[in-house]
């Protein structure tokens, strides 16, 4: 019954938000409460909800101060040189801008932190998308697709969980997956190219016969189409007088060094992530806007984004708190294992690779990797399947996981880009599923995951 209730709760939530019957935040709050009452957990519900909020509080704090920090950096003009360079190379070409988005996301996501990647890429690229009229859902989609592949890095959360729970090292788990990741990234850049062609056609832009001035476009070979017939003036940074007054060109290198130092501290884990962003935000405010009135104006300017993300994150904490506290997650795991026919036992790695996408969509990485993967691995061991094989297969569903309403950084992404959460899910889901299938097929063909 608990398993059925868990699946029903998640299905109800998804239907309500994807049909626009409820907003994501109200559904996150009301749906789990209703199911907790219906399943007889009303007396323990308050404790479960508070536990969920406590567990997610550090992430919520980190996201709030990350928004404030990078908002200040954008106001001060830290990303203006990046935007200007991409504009000059892209020359108003939607295809090059979208491919550039994927490449920038790839480079920034090397630090393994999705929230940081989203903030940097969206703040750098969104002005270009708005100026040229490119669909902003493409911006969120490309961030998500790249992040889904790069989330498998050893210092990323999912791989660290698998290494911990299955007692594997990165040479056993991550290194064999590198070819599948490379093919997955090739698929992502193909999707970017396809989006670019579609946006060219939709915006009514046409190629010029003249050769491109740049033989390499953001690191890609010269086979891409030549620049379109847009003027250089059309892609110049056009700032309002108010925005220009906020720029701090003399502090560009100071802000760059502060941001690089923050990234290094994040990777080296010198302090907890929330604390690092809080301290960096305080330094950024003091250096760039020492006047108290200016600081208040900057805080107010970015408060709405920070508040909406924080509210969504803590609402997700209530959802996960009830899902875990009622043990619905555990029941769902046991049910899935029991439903697998005995004759399919040797195919457990393939089934795990396929199932990891929907299961990590419907529950947190902690719930899947700490709660379900050990059951899968034990069941597969009865058929002679190696532990490392199960670990590798379990990571292939990450591109779909990042679309989950239980991933806090996803709310940050859609909030920064100004798109609807459900619209982002509908737009990105099929491409994310494609990434999962491409990586799984590559793993099967190369023998990384045996059939």
Buried b (16+ CB within 10 A) or exposed e, 273-284: bbebbbebbebb
- Residue 304 confidence (pLDDT): 77
Among 156-165, 213-222, 424-433, name the one with the lowest average pLDDT.
213-222
Cα 59 to Cα 61: distance, rounded to the nearest angstrom: 5
pLDDT tens-digit map of 88-109: 777 778 898 899 899 888 877 7
- List Cβ neighbours of 12 (8 Å cut-off, separation of 6 or more): 31, 35
Cα 400 to Cα 420: distance, rounded to the nearest angstrom: 18
The backbone torsions φ and ψ at residue 228, rounded to the nearest 5 degrees and listed phi first, read -85, 170
**Mean pLDDT score of the chain, rounded to an integer?**
80
Mean pLDDT, rounded, for 267-271: 77
Sign, CA dihedral 38-39-41-46, equals negative
More confident residue, 430 or 302: 430
More confident residue, 79 or 303: 303
Cα 27 to Cα 242: distance, rounded to the nearest angstrom: 38
pLDDT confidence band for 222 (50 / 70 / 90): very low
The backbone torsions φ and ψ at residue 207, rounded to the nearest 5 degrees and listed phi first, read -75, 150
- 3-state secondary structure (DSSP) of residue 189: helix
pLDDT confidence band for 191 (50 / 70 / 90): very high
pLDDT confidence band for 179 (50 / 70 / 90): very high
pLDDT tens-digit map of 343-400: 666 788 888 888 888 888 877 776 677 667 777 777 777 778 888 888 899 899 888 9
């Amino acid at each position: 019954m608990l398993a059925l209730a868990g699946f029903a709760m998640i299905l109800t939530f998804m239907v309500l938000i994807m049909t626009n019957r409820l907003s994501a935040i109200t559904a996150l709050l009301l749906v789990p409460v209703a199911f907790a009452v219906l399943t007889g957990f009303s007396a323990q519900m308050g404790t479960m909800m508070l536990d969920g909020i406590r567990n997610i509080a550090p992430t919520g704090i980190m996201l709030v101060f990350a928004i404030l920090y990078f908002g200040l950096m954008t106001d001060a003009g830290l990303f203006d040189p990046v935007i200007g360079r991409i504009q000059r190379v892209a020359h108003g070409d939607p295809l090059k801008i979208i491919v550039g988005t994927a490449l920038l996301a790839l480079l920034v996501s090397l630090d393994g932190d999705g929230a940081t990647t989203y903030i940097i890429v969206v703040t750098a690229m969104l002005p270009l998308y708005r100026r040229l009229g490119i669909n902003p859902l493409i911006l969120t989609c490309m961030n998500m697709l790249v992040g889904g592949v790069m989330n498998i890095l050893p210092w990323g959360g999912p791989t660290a969980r698998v290494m911990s729970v299955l007692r594997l090292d990165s040479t056993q788990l991550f290194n064999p997956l590198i070819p599948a990741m490379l093919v997955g990234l090739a698929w992502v850049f193909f999707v970017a190219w396809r989006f670019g062609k579609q946006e060219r056609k939709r915006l009514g832009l046409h190629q010029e016969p003249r050769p491109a001035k740049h033989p390499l476009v953001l690191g890609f070979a010269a086979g891409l189409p030549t620049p379109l017939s847009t003027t250089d003036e059309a892609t110049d940074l056009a700032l309002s007088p108010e925005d220009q007054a906020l720029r701090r060109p003399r502090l560009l290198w100071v802000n760059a060094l502060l941001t690089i130092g923050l990234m290094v501290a994040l990777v080296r884990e010198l302090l907890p992530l929330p604390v690092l962003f809080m301290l960096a935000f305080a330094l950024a405010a003091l250096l760039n806007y020492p006047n108290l009135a200016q600081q208040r104006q900057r805080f107010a300017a970015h408060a709405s984004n920070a508040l909406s993300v924080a509210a969504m994150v803590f609402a997700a904490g209530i959802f996960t708190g009830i899902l875990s506290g009622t043990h619905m997650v555990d029941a769902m795991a046991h049910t899935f294992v029991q439903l697998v026919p005995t004759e399919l036992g040797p195919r457990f790695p393939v089934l795990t690779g396929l199932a990891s996408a929907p299961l990590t969509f419907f529950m947190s990485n902690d719930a899947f990797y700490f709660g379900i993967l050990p059951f899968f691995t034990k069941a597969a061991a009865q058929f002679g399947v190696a532990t490392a094989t199960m670990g590798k297969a379990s990571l292939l569903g990450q591109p779909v996981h990042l679309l989950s309403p239980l991933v806090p950084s996803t709310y940050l992404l859609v909030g920064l880009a100004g798109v609807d959460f459900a619209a982002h899910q509908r737009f990105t889901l099929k491409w994310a599923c494609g990434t999962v299938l491409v990586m799984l097929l590559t793993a099967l063909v190369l023998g990384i995951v045996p059939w």
